[in-house]
Amino acid sequence: MYRLLAWLILAPLYVLSLLPLRVHYLFARIITWLLRDVFRYRRDVIDTNLEGAFPDMTPQAREKLKNDYYRHLGDVVAETVWAMTRSGRHISRKGFYRVDPSSEEVINRAYLNSPGVVTLLAHTGNWELASDLTSYMQHPAFAPKDMTVTYQTLHSKLSEQLFLVLRHHRLNTPGALVPSHKILRYMLQRRDSRRLYFFIADQYPYSGGALTTEFLGLQTEWHGGAEAIARKLHLPVLYVYLDKVKRGEYVIKISQICSDASKTAPGEVTGTYAALLERDILCRKESWLWSHRRWKNLWPYNCNKEGKTL
């Protein structure tokens, strides 16, 4: 029932998707206005996060950054709708998404030299389209069937089905999507087959096993699962950054965190990931997901000057 309802909700968007990208960017302006001025989408969360992460920034600069973030979010929504009826190859040919040539070498080498690769991403750039990685590469050593993306299950059954329908549209292969609470068993069953495992690693860890580091000047909890699995299975770990060079142009940049996580100290992989992500966020502040309640459970470590929990 929920799956049917999800398709009914998404059907008009598939029709709308057929319009050219330039038209969708006109829609993006409307989406930005709706999110920022009409619905005031998570404005308090964004304000609190920006104040906590950039306490020395002037109120005027934070207001500009917030407006830039809303514009970016409007672009992400519009681009994602536009891409619903476009293949990864089409998106790549348009120059919309591409992989940095040196990054191709990094991910191909890791894939060919190990039975599995743990890949850590974040909500930067347009993360919704990152799953078409092989389509954006010139000479991929792997195919879409060799990729698995983990995800956190959602509390709302309808939201879960909307998420799955959208993701399966771009990852239409068996085993492409695996809930995070099932991923260890899934990987153990396939430890002798070569695969890439993608973790969106900057989400708030709702369950136990979290690691804590300083991130953007704040004590921050991270999922410990990806690092723990990589250490247990002796796997390399890569960091993927989705860089928004400009509107309508994204570059995927990949670097290696380690060649064998079992040889690193506990927390080292996560700490390196956090440091790399912080570096990239500071370069393009508006392109990270500031509307996420990233620091909500770390009282009393993180609070603003009014004592309000971040």
Whether the per-residue pLDDT at 165 is higher than 50: the answer is yes
- Across the chain, mean pLDDT equals 89
Residue 100 lies in a domain: yes
pLDDT at 302: 52
**Helix or strand run (H / E) with residue 169:** helix 157-170
Residue 310 lies in a domain: no
Q: For 23-38, what is the mean pLDDT?
A: 97
pTM metric for this prediction: 0.92
Q: CA-to-CA distance for 172 and 177, rounded, in angstroms?
A: 9
Which residue range(s) make up the domain with 43? 2-287
Q: Does the residue 308 lie in any domain?
A: no
Report the pLDDT value the prediction gives residue 161, as an integer from 0 to 100: 73
CB atoms within 10 A of CB 230: 27
Label residue 60 exposed, middle or buried (CB < 10 Å: 0-12, 13-18, 19+): exposed
Please report whether residue 306 resides in a domain: no
Judged against a pLDDT cut of 90, whether residue 162 lies above it is answered with no
For the segment 73-98, the average pLDDT, to the nearest whole number, is 91
Identify which of 61, 65, 62 has the alpha carbon closest to the alpha carbon of residue 73. Answer: 65
Distance between CA 281 and CA 289 in Å, rounded? 10
Say how far apart CA 268 and CA 263 lie, in whole Å. Answer: 10
pLDDT in tens, 269-310: 999 999 999 999 999 999 999 999 988 765 444 554 444 444
The domain total for the chain is 1
State the DSSP code for 132. G
Reported residue count of the chain is 310
Is 292 within the bounds of a domain? no
Q: Residue 310 has what pLDDT?
A: 47
Q: Which of 39-43, 146-150, 164-168, 295-299 has the highest mean pLDDT?
A: 39-43
Q: Helices (H) and strands (E) in the chain — how many of each?
A: 11, 9
Q: Which of 109-123, 156-170, 270-284 has the lowest mean pLDDT?
A: 156-170
Rounded Cα distance, 224 and 213, in Å: 11
In a domain, 149, yes or no: yes
Among 68-72, 120-124, 141-145, 162-166, which stretch is predicted with the lowest mean pLDDT? 162-166
User: What are the strands of the beta sheet with 97-99, ordered from one edge?
Assistant: 97-99, 249-258, 237-246, 116-121, 195-200, 147-151, 177-179
Determine the average pLDDT of the residues in 202-220. 85
As a whole number of angstroms, the distance between CA 105 and CA 254 comes to 9
Give the model's pLDDT for residue 28.
98
Query: Each residue of 141-152: pLDDT tens digit?
Result: 999 999 999 988
Residue 120, helix vs strand vs coil: strand
Residue type, 43: R
Note whether residue 25 is domain-resident: yes
Residue matched to tokens 């514009």: 71
Mean pLDDT calculated for residue range 47-71: 96
Dihedral of CA atoms 186, 187, 191, 195 in degrees, nearest 10, equals 110
Contact in structure between 200 and 123 (CB atoms under 8 Å): yes
Residue 304 placed within a domain: no
